[in-house]
Amino acid sequence: MSRILITGAAGYIGRQLGERLAAHHQVLGLDVRVPEGLPFECRQGDIRDPALGRWMAEQGTRVVVHLAAVLEDSGDRARDHDIDVNGTRNVLEACVANGVEQLIVTSSGAAYGYHADNPPWLDEDAPLRGNPEFAYSDHKRQVEELLARYRHDHPRLGQLILRPGTVLGATTHNQITALFEGRRVLAIAGSDSPFVFIWDQDVVGAILHGIDTGARGVYNLAGDGALPIQRVAALLGKPLRVVPAWLLAGALAVGKRLRLTGHSPEKVNFLRYRPVLDNRRLKQEFGYRPRKTSEETFRFFIEQARARGRL
């Protein structure tokens, strides 16, 4: 039985992963908040804590699954950067110091960035150009650059990096799903804004596969196919509200200035130029085939969200 540490263990994916792993491994969780009822041991703590390495040594940790990250902008960029980038550096230092055999990190397709000249499908060799104006995207890029340096300097630490598309499951509720909850679906004129979805159980499944095989490498994590915004609206049964990019940017600028919205004009590119992930290497090289396609994942989400009164 491997001793596996999960950072962000009380989060959306961490809790599901820990429950699955606990049946066959000794699972240790770490999170800043530890809710009651977790089916595995979890310690309250911060990934930035210098004592992390000592705790890993005490536990004899062999595998680390690093899920802890700031998912939504807190408004404090320095704090979020400290958690995402410096926190990951602390995890890496602790892994190297304790001879950890495998580090699995959930990055994001956002690390590629939201750019007009992105290719129609992004494979893992595409440059990482996470947008500086989007904290989440920018920090994922910086984290991956940090990971690459450690792969070069510390090759004994096996790294498996997964770059998920938009994760959806039975209870998902976040800034992405909020786009689908209105009476209309917002679309940017002249852009298909395609989404690639990955079922949350496939995220867990891919991590489990990585642990079982001891795999290394970098892989996009997405279901087959992509859904343009027109298809998203059709599946939701909602009309499209098509807005010129310049008009939406202007409205957001005014709204931001008047404190009517937390979104800035740069958010237009987040909607307009979504990275579309090619999952060929995931299936052919890593050996994991997602159980749901992008459309099947979205249909499942719609069904579950409607049952909960969210759509």
pLDDT digits (tens, 9 = 90+) for 38-48: 999 999 999 99
What values do phi and psi take at 134, rounded to 5?
-110, 110
Answer yes or no: is pLDDT of 175 > 90.
no
96 burial via Cβ count (<10 Å: 0-12, 13-18, 19+): middle
Cα 250 → chain centroid? 29
Please give the sequence-ordered ranges of beta strands (E in DSSP) within 39-165, or none if there are none: 41-44, 63-66, 102-106, 158-164
Name the β-bridge partners of 63: 4, 102
H-assigned helices in 196-272 = 200-213, 229-236, 245-257, 267-272
**Distance between CA atoms of 251 and 9, rounded to whole angstroms?**
39
**Distance between CA atoms of 275 and 227, rounded to whole angstroms?**
12
Cα maximum dimension of the chain: 57
The answer to whether the CB of 243 falls within 8 A of the CB of 216 is no
Is the backbone of residue 49 left (phi > 0), alpha (psi -120 to 50) or beta? beta
**Sequence ranges of the domains in the chain:** 3-171+196-225+276-291
Reported as a pLDDT band with limits 50, 70 and 90, residue 258 is: confident
Reported as a pLDDT band with limits 50, 70 and 90, residue 87 is: very high
User: Which residues are the active-site residues?
Assistant: 136
What does the pLDDT read at residue 252?
A: 87
What does the pLDDT read at residue 73?
A: 83
Fold entry, domain 3-171+196-225+276-291? Rossmann fold (3.40.50)
Mean pLDDT for all residues in the chain? 95
What does the pLDDT read at residue 261?
A: 80
**Distance between CA atoms of 163 and 109, rounded to whole angstroms?**
5
- What's the mean pLDDT in 59-68? 96
**Distance between CA atoms of 206 and 40, rounded to whole angstroms?**
20
Answer yes or no: is pLDDT of 127 > 60.
yes
290: which 2 tokens?
């997602």
Reported as a pLDDT band with limits 50, 70 and 90, residue 88 is: very high
The answer to whether the CB of 87 falls within 8 A of the CB of 81 is no
Answer yes or no: is pLDDT of 1 > 60.
no
pLDDT digits (tens, 9 = 90+) for 269-293: 999 999 999 999 999 999 999 999 9
The answer to whether the CB of 156 falls within 8 A of the CB of 270 is no
pLDDT digits (tens, 9 = 90+) for 216-254: 999 999 999 999 999 999 999 999 999 999 999 899 888
What does the pLDDT read at residue 275?
A: 96
**Distance between CA atoms of 12 and 67, rounded to whole angstroms?**
10
Answer yes or no: is pLDDT of 200 > 90.
yes
The answer to whether the CB of 169 falls within 8 A of the CB of 179 is no
